[in-house]
Structure 1
């Protein structure tokens, strides 16, 4: 995963962010939010894939649908991911710390 979740300083709860800090690089709040939103979607996809891969390591496959086995390792992995900052928080932290690369496409430049 590109984002190091353990070292991230992104908040785990809601925080207020100065609008001027968010749109400083683009001079357009909507463009800045769009960029952060796209990065948030990327982070969410990466986190989900990583979580599913880790949970599959501990999966016990059983033919009976009535029996559900809760594996202690699976529960610990799930709890770890629940305590992490949310993808939108990680993306905003990356944006404010200039860790997101973005560029305008040719269509944007012609407009």
Structure 2
């Protein structure tokens, strides 16, 4: 995951956005939301992968492979990730800052 996501200005709680700001790049609110949604899914999978890797570093395995004990480091790592802005908030922030690359495949196929 980018360090940019951890230092993002994205809100941690729910906020209301101006619809016109969201759909300005595409002139279609549904298309804009679809793009933001795909980016949020990417951010979520990146974050989840990173979190699991960090938790795995602190995992203590016993003779029984089914039992994995959590320790204080794992709990602290989990709490840190819980405090980060949610993936959808990060994706909307990236969209508003024009940091998401997208292209119109309809116009590409017509050319």
Structure 2 residue aligned with 1:2:
2
Q: Give me the TM-score of the superposition, normalised by structure 2.
A: 0.90
Structure 1 residue aligned with 2:39:
39
Could you say if the C-alpha distance between residues 3 and 35 of structure 1 is closer, same or farther in structure 2, counting changes exceeding 3 Å? Answer: farther
> Where in structure 2 are there 5+ consecutive unaligned residues?
none
Structure 2 residue aligned with 1:64:
64
Q: Check if 1:97 corresponds to 2:94.
A: no
Q: Give, in whole Å, the separation in 1 of the partners of 2:103 and 2:59.
A: 42
Structure 2 residue aligned with 1:17:
17
> When you count helix as a share of all residues, which structure comes out higher?
2
Q: Give, in whole Å, the separation in 1 of the partners of 2:12 and 2:30.
A: 24
Structure 2 residue aligned with 1:80:
80
Q: Aligned pairs, how many?
A: 108
Could you say if the C-alpha distance between residues 44 and 67 of structure 1 is closer, same or farther in structure 2, counting changes exceeding 3 Å? Answer: closer
CA RMSD of aligned residues (A): 1.6
Runs of at least 4 residues of structure 1 off by over 4 A?
A: 65-68
Q: Give me the TM-score of the superposition, normalised by structure 1.
A: 0.90
Could you say if the C-alpha distance between residues 26 and 3 of structure 1 is closer, same or farther in structure 2, counting changes exceeding 3 Å? Answer: farther
Do the aligned residues in 2 keep the contact of 1:3 with 1:43 (CA within 8 Å)? no
Could you say if the C-alpha distance between residues 100 and 67 of structure 1 is closer, same or farther in structure 2, counting changes exceeding 3 Å? Answer: closer
Q: Give, in whole Å, the separation in 1 of the partners of 2:54 and 2:88.
A: 22
Return the offset for 1:67.
Answer: 5.8
> Where in structure 1 are there 5+ consecutive unaligned residues?
none
